[in-house]
A and B are shown apart, each in its own frame.
Chain A
Amino acid sequence: MATVIIPTPLRKFTKNTARLEVKAGNIGDTIQQLTANFPDLKKHLLDEKGQVRSFVNIFIGNDDIRDLQQEKTVVKDDTVISIIPAIAGGI
């Protein structure tokens, strides 16, 4: 099972779970599973066309999936996936 780390701003949509386990072949499947299990996540991760929103970055290990095969990037059992949305706070 691959691990998905949910960022704090999105944990309210995953019953406050920080780490989720998924059985998926690639990033696209992973997102599909996440949004099927936690429907409120969908609007935060995907746009109207079902594409990953461009203010949400997804990393596999330390690398951005945009530098790999995007949603087709392969996910293995020991893969750690991080979802990192833009935040702007400072004061």
Chain B
Amino acid sequence: MSFQDIKFSKEELARYDRHIIIPEFGIESQKKLKAAKVLVIGSGGLGSPVLLYLAAAGIGTIGIVDFDVVDGSNLQRQVLFGINEIGQPKVEAAKRRLESLNPHIKLNLYNVHLNSQNALDIVKDYDVIADGTDNFPTRYLVNDASVLLNKPNVYASIFQFEGQVSVFNYTNQKGETGPNYRDLYPVPPPPGLVPSCAEGGVLGVLPGIIGSLQALEVIKVITGVGETLSGRFFIFDALNFETRTFNIKRREDNPVNGKNPTITELIDYEQFCGMRAVEEKPLKEIDAKELYQWQVQGKKFELIDVREPHEYEIVNIGGELIPLATVLDNADRFDSNTDIVVYCKGGVRSAKAIRQLEEKFGYKNLYNLKGGIISYIDQVQPELTKY
């Protein structure tokens, strides 16, 4: 339906009055918002403000992609959720919150892991994509899907105190298409070099700021009001309160829409980001139930916890605390003659610790606890505190 055919109820006109009375915005822009379909990928730190503001602003159809459930450690920044939603699928918790905020909009839920098999099918029904995911494979997947389907991709990313925003693959009124993520960053960092927010942390208010800017750009892309960040790359440093806006351009060697495109369909993004290579190195693993068996059988083994002291304080299962960063300096505390189970929160840091020890000292007796302490709590001691 064309935006000109959009009608509003009395309630809607009253609701959107503060938009409609802005001379540069007016009823026409409000109609464009109602006619628009926006896909928000990730309903976490960035997704929360994006969804809240887009729903409040009256975007007619909003799709939400997220496979995760609400966790207590999300609430420090994911303002879409409250303590009553812990353990619930994020898309469903988001739907309830957004429906109570604005009953005049339609919400489509995708409780799935976005991947090369389903991305085009989901993205194709939307006008604008807002990417608020948390890993490089999905960033490149979302970029390529939006370029292949010719959709603008409003991009935002955060880490610790730093945020980035841009509008990718935006075609202006003259028909000129701006740069996309691959023009800015042709290849991702190798795994392990750049930590994720789960490992490196993020100040809770930062996604609130950056996600709000992302919502702003979505509204500008839809309405055509103002100048979008297409061809520009915005950086916010919350520590020094510095903002910078750089110029970015399309590149001829862009593999998706450069001079000689080599990517004409979605690829294996885990492989592209080097994730597979890491997985190929086999690690000895033990799952939570096996560990419990070892414990009840009285088997002789050691348990080492490579998390940080404050995490140990939240919950521990009796392991000796040697944080990841200090593992190599404390290698003498790892006995090479006894089986040792190493664990962290989810199994990533402990795998790193084991690799470091194996590479440097040739250990052969280290077992990684699959799924970390969280999996142990879920499967063995559900009464312990999860975080």
B208 an interface residue at 8 Å Cβ cutoff? no
Q: How far is the CB of B25 from chain A (nearest CB, A)?
A: 28
Q: How far is the CB of B358 from chain A (nearest CB, A)?
A: 21
Contact B246 A90 (CB under 8 A): no
A84-B163 Cα distance, complex, nearest whole Å: 11
Q: Which residues of A contact B189 (CB under 8 A)?
A: 53, 55, 85-86
- Could you say which of A9, A43, A55, A88 contacts B160, with CB atoms under 8 Å apart? A9
Q: A44 within 8 Å of B by Cβ?
A: yes
Is B131 part of the binding interface, using a Cβ–Cβ cutoff of 8 Å? yes
Q: Does A64 contact B (CB under 8 A)?
A: yes
Residue of chain A at shortest CB distance from B131: A90
A19-44: which residues lie under 8 A (CB-CB) from chain B? 43-44
Majority DSSP secondary structure for residues of A touching B = mixed
Interface string of B23-49 (1 = CB under 8 A from A): 000000000000000000010111100
Q: A9-B160, A64-B246 are in contact. Are A88 and B139 (CB under 8 A)?
A: yes
Cβ–Cβ < 8 Å partners of B184 in chain A: 57
B230 within 8 A of A: no
> Counting CB contacts under 8 A, is B350 at the interface?
no
CB-nearest residue of chain B to A80: B244
Which A residues, 39 to 91, have Cβ-Cβ distances below 8 Å to chain B? 43-44, 53-55, 57, 59, 62-64, 66-67, 82, 84-91
> Which of A54, A55, A59 contacts B246 (CB under 8 A)?
A59
**With A and B bound together, what is the CA distance between A54 and B202 in angstroms?**
24
| Separation of A87 and B158 alpha carbons in the complex (Å) | 7
**A90 lies within 8 A of B240 (CB):** no
Q: Which residues of B contact A5 (CB under 8 A)?
A: 242, 244
Interface size grouping (class) on chain A: 20 to 34
Are A82 and B246 in contact (CB-based, < 8 A)?
Answer: yes
- Give the contacting residue for A90; candidates B46, B193, B244; CB below 8 A: B46
**Contact of A89 (CB < 8 Å), options: B157, B240, B248:** B157
With CB as the reference atom, state the residue of chain A lying closest to B68: A91
* A82 contact set on B, CB distance < 8 A: 235, 244, 246
Please judge, given known A-B contacts A59-B246, A62-B247, whether A91 and B200 are in contact too, CB under 8 Å: no
Given contacts A62-B247, A63-B246, A91-B42, contact A86 B185 (CB under 8 A): yes
Residue of A nearest to B232 (CB): A62
Per the bound structure, the CA–CA distance linking A60 and B244 in Å amounts to 12
**A9 and B139 contact, Cβ closer than 8 Å, known pairs A63-B246, A91-B44:** no
Distance in Å from the Cβ of A12 to the closest Cβ of chain B?
Answer: 10
- Quote the shortest CB–CB distance from A81 to chain B (angstroms): 11
Closest to A67 in B: B249
**Does B254 touch A at the CB level, under 8 Å?**
no
* Given A7-B162, A55-B194, A90-B47, 17 other A-B residues pairs in contact with their CB atoms under 8 A: A5-B244, A7-B237, A8-B160, A8-B237, A9-B162, A18-B237, A55-B189, A59-B244, A64-B247, A82-B235, A88-B157, A89-B157, A89-B197, A90-B42, A90-B158, A91-B133, A91-B134
Enumerate chain A interface residues (CB-CB to B < 8 A).
5, 7-9, 18, 43-44, 53-55, 57, 59, 62-64, 66-67, 82, 84-91
Write 24 A-B pairs (CB below 8 A) sorted by A numbering: A5-B244, A8-B160, A8-B239, A9-B194, A18-B237, A54-B187, A55-B185, A55-B188, A57-B246, A62-B245, A63-B247, A87-B158, A88-B133, A88-B136, A88-B194, A89-B45, A89-B200, A90-B42, A90-B46, A90-B157, A91-B74, A91-B78, A91-B134, A91-B197
